[in-house]
Amino acid sequence: MHQAPHGLEEQTIGRLLRATARKFPAHDALVVSQASVRLNWSELDAEVDRAAKGLLAIGMKRGDHFGVWSTNWPEWVILQFATARIGVVLVTINPAYRPAELEYVLAQSDVRGLALIQQFKTSNYDDMLGQVCPELSAARQGIINTSRFPKLKRIVRLRGDEHPGMQSWSELCDVGRCVSAEALAAAESELQPQDPINLQYTSGTTGRPKGALLTHRNLLLNAYYTGECQRLDEHDRICIPVPLYHCFGCVLGTLCAVVHGAAMVFPHESFLAAAALDAIERERCTSIYGVPTMFIAMLEQSDFAQRDTSSLRTGIMAGSPCPIELMKRVTSDMGAREITIAYGETEASPIITMTRTDDPIEKRVGTVGRVIAGVEARIVDPNTNEPVEDGVSGELCARGHNVMLGYYKQPEATAAAIDKDGWLHTGDQALRQPDGYFRITGRIKDTIIRGGENISPREIEELLYQHPAVEDVQVVGVPDSRFGEEILACIRQRANVSVSEDEIRAFCRARLAPFKTPRYVWFLDSFPTTVTGKIQKFALRQQAIDKFGLGDAANVETA
């Protein structure tokens, strides 16, 4: 593994984009099939300048926070680089959020601006923003004053109908005309690689999402090494069906492309298996990204056998434990013979370990690889924090250029995650093989990972406690062959109050992002406990595997 090229450690995202645009001006940079957008590096760099000047014109400056609440759309990518160019911290908001989740993140993140699309499927973002911010109806030209979010001053419309309370994307870019190239250069020259530039919310075990604060250096080095592991260069074309709000999309996707000069290809604003296959065929993509669920969906397309995926060489499967049989199908049936597996978490920008294209197939399907350059990993006993020897399972901890600055405005949570010696505690159970390859063996923390989405059981439990029929509730993850895990809500009902499984699901669906709605609801009279009365979630999980016939899914072998 090469060390990062000279100067990358001292680089900022905006300056790196300029360098790539100078090096490969006419190469494809951004292809968004659904929006019929195709920009080369020179054009993308110019669009980013226009948007960056617009942000300066409306008063955004280094260190301010700016939220984006949208599916994968061209302006999302332009905004990512425009904020980075002037040192504004981009706050990435999950487009599946419902109003209560949005309200929490807008307040906790201290955003000064918010960019959003109008609508996606049944989600009307204007309506949801209006619910948590009623002042929107009285706002004009994108200028807003709201008691709930005192820092929030600007609303920008990324896509959709004109709205009196929002500034359109074209208006934002137009007002930037009054900002000189010198003023933009001056703003850019102030920035340091150690500056925070991205705030990403991640569901841990504590209920509410926590915002991981990441720097230019965190993200660029991660993008460089993950691209190196795939052997990417300016001739590669990365198919990115994963969401941009997640590190997978906006680090391993957009930033990896910029660092290596590869084209980024977005098939659709959200994942559609057919659209991803269309993009691979039409754009001759060489690299494909996805969580295991996405690869399963592509392979299961009825016309998959007729699809031409011969351009594929590599890619990344990550986000959830990767079934070994699935990896074999991706290398053989899809032809991505150099596909890699990556493991990490948002707090690690995101990658800690990764397989390489030249690893033997058993390493690429049976492990999560070795640490990326510049990162250390060790396995410790979760009770004593002492390192354990190779082959022994314990908690995986990481240290190096990838560790976040911390959780925004949550010093206690930061101290719990990063110890005094700088080790990030992942909460994942793993073992290190004598050859330096790691295997994930389980989870110490409570998080459920469904199709690459981290879900906090406690967040769902706290919501369900508000339901009048619920006396007690335990939420656990149970095995699923498509999503890796599904959500099970185990409920003790109050006496003389009845409720159905469907009513419980509807209650959750109305208040939480759809992927947090329990697939299974199980009414019980009591929960298994230890002698001291502590509820044993692992026992509930085991009982559920028997009750719901999930034995086959439980036995799927993963890396």
What is residue 434's predicted lDDT score, i.e. its pLDDT?
A: 97
Task: Give the residue from 146, 169, 191 where a domain finishes.
Answer: 191
CATH number of the domain within which 130 lies: 3.40.50.980
Rounded mean pLDDT, 75-84: 98
Measured in degrees and rounded to the nearest 5, phi and psi for residue 339 equal -60, 145
What is residue 205's predicted lDDT score, i.e. its pLDDT?
A: 54
Structural domain contains residue 111: yes
Nearest to 61 by CA among 139, 166, 129, 154: 154
Q: Among positive and negative, which fits the CA dihedral 26, 30, 32, 33?
A: positive
Task: Give the residue from 191, 216, 231 where a domain finishes.
Answer: 191
Residue range 390-427, pLDDT digits in tens: 999 999 999 999 999 999 999 999 999 999 999 999 99
Asked if residue 206 has pLDDT above 60, the reply is no
Distances (CA, A) of 97 to 12, 93, 428, 515: 30, 8, 26, 10
pLDDT confidence tier of residue 471, bands split at 50, 70 and 90:
confident
Asked if residue 443 has pLDDT above 70, the reply is yes
What is residue 2's predicted lDDT score, i.e. its pLDDT?
A: 60
Residue 548 CB neighbour total at 10 angstroms: 17
CATH number of the domain within which 531 lies: 3.30.300.30
Residue range 46-63, pLDDT digits in tens: 999 999 999 999 999 999
Q: Judging by beta carbons within 10 Å of its beta carbon (0-12, 13-18, 19+), is residue 272 exposed, middle or buried?
A: middle
Structural domain contains residue 249: no
Structural domain contains residue 410: no
Structural domain contains residue 390: no
Rounded mean pLDDT, 542-553: 94
Structural domain contains residue 394: no
DSSP percent split of the chain into helix, strand, coil, nearest 5 = 35, 25, 40
d(CA 35, CA 66): 23
Q: Are 266 and 32 in contact (CB under 8 A)?
A: yes
Q: Which domain holds residue 507?
A: 448-554
Task: Give the residue from 191, 226, 253 where a domain finishes.
Answer: 191
Q: Give me the half-sphere count of Cα atoms (radius 13 Å) on the Cβ side of residue 332.
A: 8
What is residue 324's predicted lDDT score, i.e. its pLDDT?
A: 85
Length of the chain in residues, anyone?
A: 559
d(CA 15, CA 197): 13
Report the chain's mean pLDDT, rounded to a whole number. 95
Structural domain contains residue 170: yes
Q: Look at strands 448-450 and 453-455 and give their pairing.
A: antiparallel
Rounded mean pLDDT, 297-320: 96
Structural domain contains residue 207: no
**Alpha helix (H) ranges present in 300-409?**
324-332, 361-366
The fraction of the chain above a pLDDT of 90, given in percent, is 88
Distances (CA, A) of 515 to 138, 213, 257, 460: 33, 24, 29, 11
Structural domain contains residue 325: no
Domains in the chain: how many in total? Answer: 2
